[in-house]
RNA sequence: GGGGCCGUAGCUCAAUUGGUUAGAGCACCGGACUGUCGAUCCGGAGGUUGCGGGUUCGACUCCCGUCGGCCUCGCCA
């Protein structure tokens, strides 16, 4: 039964070799006197030919009969000699297209029912069907190749880090709920009834403990769990490359990460810059309106508050007067946008929370649009200059609270960039976002929230600001961003118990609460914790980007639907009463379905 | 929790203003064919139009509800 080659392997140099291939019938072409079988495995496709046998040869006749009976997705082993196809029979679409195997033996290993869909590159099968029959979908070359790439990415990450002296160390999946950040997945404990483990949102605290334990230079390719609503780029379980080092500062982590990413991009044949640009959080927000700027194109945001502060257009001047932010974005050539297109952008802005979207078209040296008549000539001139706009362009304005203005106009910039084809789809624009604020004020909860997480260190010179002016304290945090997608983030951690306690108290976590939830960390920090820091990279997103996929589901073997279900296994599902009884649990409100 | 799109044969889709027998391609079954390569040709079978209710002489089509999928805002690093 053993195969000698894969279906993607044979070339002209293999001509006259006796081979044996195993795989799935992707298609069959029965010409009566000759039968072609396209045999597929995860490596590729090879054509096997069966010629009409001599009448006297019963064994060959039997084999030929079987060859004619083969159907799609049946599993076979076929042996024979490799031969050239002949100059006029070459299939340039296949890497193996210059050769074929002349079938001399054929074993039917298994039949297949008629498949619900053909696992080929044509067609467009409903996602749910693909997930339900994932074993068929996985035969699709694109999906198989994404998983091959994923494997190679993981291997490269391990090789690079191993060469740098890192240790891969596993951390628990059954751990403690720390209700910071995302919602936890909970696991009831049988032995400690009424108590729950939580699946880790990340191994954050364990890797810090490893540093304190002296196992500096740790990494792990690890599953993380977050019970939040799904998106195309968000699954409830996802994989991180998690790294932590002791005795380091920001540049050490950034350099290490850059080396990893450079190797990963090289393996996928993707460009990676010699030097990754760095941009501060403040600059990113100012010019791009987001903390994950898409640098594939310019078209920057401009703060025009000062220019319009005293203008007659109350939407602008009113926003400035009440401490808001007025920003503008000039779209080159946007003067040609129809009313319908502009209305579309207005709806888009409203989706993101804007009250509306003001715009002015520039033509013949003048502004048109709602705000135009309230903007004096000098104001119009300044807007032109600041936005770098000229006749034929359109300027969009958003006037709101600083956070909302940035959110809306930043999102609009992304949409315009895509709609107007402002960048090459194959471009990769990397940047590090640095100098993050340590905390931000949460208006709803009336408290400070950490931007990164509560274990991120402030800059040493900013520690005292935790008391005086927390909002102005800068964190030793950094995010790696590519094409407007956050691919990872990390920080230098707090390694001083007192500072950590101060941080908790700033975040409104009482001393008792802190001790209850993070006591083990606070204890550990008192027993010789070295300075340390690290980063976590989103593996799924990196692979998704490298293969240009539109969804995480294209790079995960067994992903969940948007409602967190698995059509293959039908998870999640009800459990036996016996199982519940062992856990001393009772379902009090049965699902209303 | 909100907004949007979608659900018709195994798969991908079509079906006029609400109109009489719901069509096509692929897959499947039977047949033909000695160089195809998403083979071709001839024939066949295949449907509770997601589900439940309603309006109507008549519903794939309109209305209400419900289930499911995808995108997205909120949420989430």
pLDDT one-digit tens code per residue, A554-578:
999 999 999 999 999 999 999 999 9
Residue carrying the six token digits 């720390």: A178
A181, closest nucleotide (Cα–C1') = B76
Report the complex ipTM. 0.94
Phi, psi (degrees; rounded to nearest 5) at A167: -110, 135
Q: Of all protein residues, which has its CA closest to the C1' atom of B2?
A: A351
Task: Give residue A179's pLDDT.
Answer: 65
Minimum mean pLDDT range among A15-24, A68-77, A208-217, A419-428 = A419-428
Bridge partners for A47 per DSSP: A38
In angstroms, the CA of A285 and the C1' of B73 are apart by 20
Q: Taking the C-alpha atoms of A52, A56, A60 and A66 in order, what is their torsion angle to the nearest 10 degrees?
A: 70
What are the tens digits of pLDDT across the range A15-46? 999 999 999 999 999 999 999 999 999 999 99
Q: Phi-psi category of A363—alpha, beta or left, where left has phi over 0 and alpha has psi -120 to 50?
A: beta
Q: Is the pLDDT of residue A372 over 90?
A: yes
Stretch A519-523: mean pLDDT: 95
Average confidence score pLDDT of chain A: 95
Share of chain A above pLDDT 90, in %: 92
A453, closest nucleotide (Cα–C1') = B77
A36, closest nucleotide (Cα–C1') = B36
A37, closest nucleotide (Cα–C1') = B37
Q: Is the pLDDT of residue A215 over 60?
A: yes
Q: How confident is the model at residue A6 (pLDDT cuts 50, 70, 90)?
A: very high
In angstroms, the CA of A10 and the C1' of B27 are apart by 29
Written as six digits, the tokens of A491 are: 């920080």
Report which secondary-structure segment, H or E, holds A535.
strand A532-538
A143-163 burial code (b ≥16 CB/10 A, e <16) = bbebbebbeebbebbbebbee
In angstroms, the CA of A427 and the C1' of B35 are apart by 43
In angstroms, the CA of A454 and the C1' of B54 are apart by 57
Task: Give residue A400's pLDDT.
Answer: 94
In angstroms, the CA of A200 and the C1' of B76 are apart by 15
Output the CA angle A398-A366-A299, nearest 5 degrees.
Answer: 45
Task: Give residue A181's pLDDT.
Answer: 83
Comparison of pLDDT for A239 and A339, the residue scoring more: A239
In angstroms, the CA of A231 and the C1' of B68 are apart by 17
In this structure, are residues A541 and A552 in contact, taking their beta carbons and an 8 Å threshold?
Answer: yes
Going by DSSP bridges, is the β-strand pair A99-110/A44-51 parallel, antiparallel, or unpaired?
A: parallel
Q: How confident is the model at residue A219 (pLDDT cuts 50, 70, 90)?
A: very high
A126, closest nucleotide (Cα–C1') = B69
DSSP string of A554-579?
Answer: GS-SS---TTS-BTTTTBS----HHH
Stretch A405-411: mean pLDDT: 96
Q: Is the pLDDT of residue A593 over 50?
A: no
Q: How far apart are CA A407 and CA A402, in angstroms?
A: 9
What are the tens digits of pLDDT across the range A432-487? 999 999 999 887 778 899 999 999 999 999 999 999 999 999 999 999 999 999 99
Handedness of CA A189, A190, A191, A195 (dihedral sign): positive
Per DSSP, helices labelled H in A225-304 are 250-267, 281-288
- Cα atoms in the 13 Å half-sphere on the side-chain side of A512: 0
Task: Give residue A589's pLDDT.
Answer: 66
A593, closest nucleotide (Cα–C1') = B67
Q: Is the pLDDT of residue A521 over 70?
A: yes
What are the tens digits of pLDDT across the range A148-168? 999 999 999 999 999 999 999
In angstroms, the CA of A42 and the C1' of B34 are apart by 31
Listed residue (A156, A168, A164, A157) closest to A215, CA to CA: A168
Stretch A492-496: mean pLDDT: 97
Q: Taking the C-alpha atoms of A128, A131, A132 and A138 in order, what is their torsion angle to the nearest 10 degrees?
A: 140
Question: Peptide bond preceding A572: is omega within 30 degrees of 0, i.e. cis?
Answer: yes
Could you say which nucleotides of strand B lie within 7 A of any protein CB atom?
1-2, 10-13, 26-29, 32-40, 67-77
Per DSSP, the three-state class of A228 is coil
Q: How confident is the model at residue A178 (pLDDT cuts 50, 70, 90)?
A: confident
Report which secondary-structure segment, H or E, holds A394.
strand A394-400
Stretch A492-519: mean pLDDT: 94
Q: Mention every residue, 6+ apart, whose C-beta is less than 8 A from residue A33.
A: A51, A52
Bridge partners for A220 per DSSP: A242
């Amino acid at each position: 039964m053993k195969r000698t080659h894969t279906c993607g392997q044979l070339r002209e140099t293999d001509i006259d070799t006796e081979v044996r291939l195993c795989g799935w019938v992707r298609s069959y072409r029965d010409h009566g006197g000759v039968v072609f079988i396209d045999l597929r495995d995860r490596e590729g496709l090879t054509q096997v030919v069966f010629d009409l046998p001599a009448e006297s040869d019963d064994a060959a006749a039997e084999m030929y009969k079987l060859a004619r009976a083969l159907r799609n997705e049946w599993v076979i082993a076929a042996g024979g000699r490799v031969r050239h196809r002949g100059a006029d029979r070459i299939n340039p679409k296949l890497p193996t297209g210059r050769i074929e195997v002349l079938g001399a033996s054929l074993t039917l290993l298994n039949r297949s029912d008629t498949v619900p869909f053909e696992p080929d590159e044509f067609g467009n099968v409903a996602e749910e069907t693909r997930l339900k029959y994932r074993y068929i979908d996985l035969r699709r070359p694109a999906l198989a190749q994404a998983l091959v790439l994923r494997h190679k990415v993981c291997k490269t990450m391990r090789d690079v880090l191993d060469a740098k002296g890192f240790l891969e160390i596993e951390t628990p999946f059954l751990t403690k709920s720390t209700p910071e950040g995302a919602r936890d997945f909970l696991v009831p404990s049988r032995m400690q009834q009424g108590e729950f483990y939580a699946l880790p949102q990340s191994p954050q605290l364990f890797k810090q403990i490893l540093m304190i334990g002296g196992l500096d230079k740790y990494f792990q390719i690890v599953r993380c769990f977050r019970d939040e609503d799904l998106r195309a780029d968000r699954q409830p379980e996802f994989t991180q490359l998690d790294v932590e080092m002791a005795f380091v500062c920001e540049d050490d982590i950034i350099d290490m990460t850059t080396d990893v990413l450079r190797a990963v991009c090289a393996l996928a044949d993707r460009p990676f810059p010699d030097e990754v640009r760095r941009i501060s959080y403040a600059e990113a927000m100012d010019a791009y309106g987001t903390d994950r700027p898409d640098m594939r194109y310019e078209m920057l945001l401009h703060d025009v508050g000062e220019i319009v502060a005293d203008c007659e257009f109350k939407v602008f001047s009113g926003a400035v007067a009440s401490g808001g932010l007025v920003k503008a974005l000039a779209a080159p050539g946007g003067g040609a946008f129809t009313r319908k297109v502009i209305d579309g952008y207005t709806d888009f802005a409203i989706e993101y929370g804007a009250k509306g979207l003001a715009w002015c078209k520039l033509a013949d040296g003048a502004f048109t649009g709602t705000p135009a008549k309230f903007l004096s000539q000098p104001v119009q001139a300044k807007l032109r200059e600041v936005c770098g706009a000229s006749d034929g362009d359109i300027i969009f304005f958003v006037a709101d609270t600083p956070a909302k203005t940035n959110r809306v106009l930043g999102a609009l910039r992304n949409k315009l960039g895509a709609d107007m084809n402002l960048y090459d789809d194959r471009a990769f624009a990397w940047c590090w976002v640095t100098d993050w604020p340590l905390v931000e004020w949460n208006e709803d909860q009336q408290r400070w929230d950490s931007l990164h997480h509560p274990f991120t260190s402030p800059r040493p010179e900013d520690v005292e600001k935790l008391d005086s002016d927390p909002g102005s304290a800068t964190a030793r945090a950094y995010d790696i961003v590519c094409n407007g997608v956050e691919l990872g983030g990390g920080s230098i951690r707090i390694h001083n118990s007192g500072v950590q306690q101060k941080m908790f108290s700033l975040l409104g976590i009482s001393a008792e609460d802190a001790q209850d939830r993070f006591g083990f960390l606070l204890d550990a920090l008192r027993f010789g914790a070295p300075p340390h820091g690290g980063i976590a990279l989103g593996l799924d997103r990196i692979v998704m980007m490298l293969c240009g996929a539109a969804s995480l589901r294209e790079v995960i073997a067994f992903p969940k639907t948007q409602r967190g279900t698995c059509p293959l296994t039908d998870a999640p599902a009800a459990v036996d009463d016996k199982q519940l009884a062992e856990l001393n649990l009772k379902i009090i409100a049965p699902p209303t379905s």
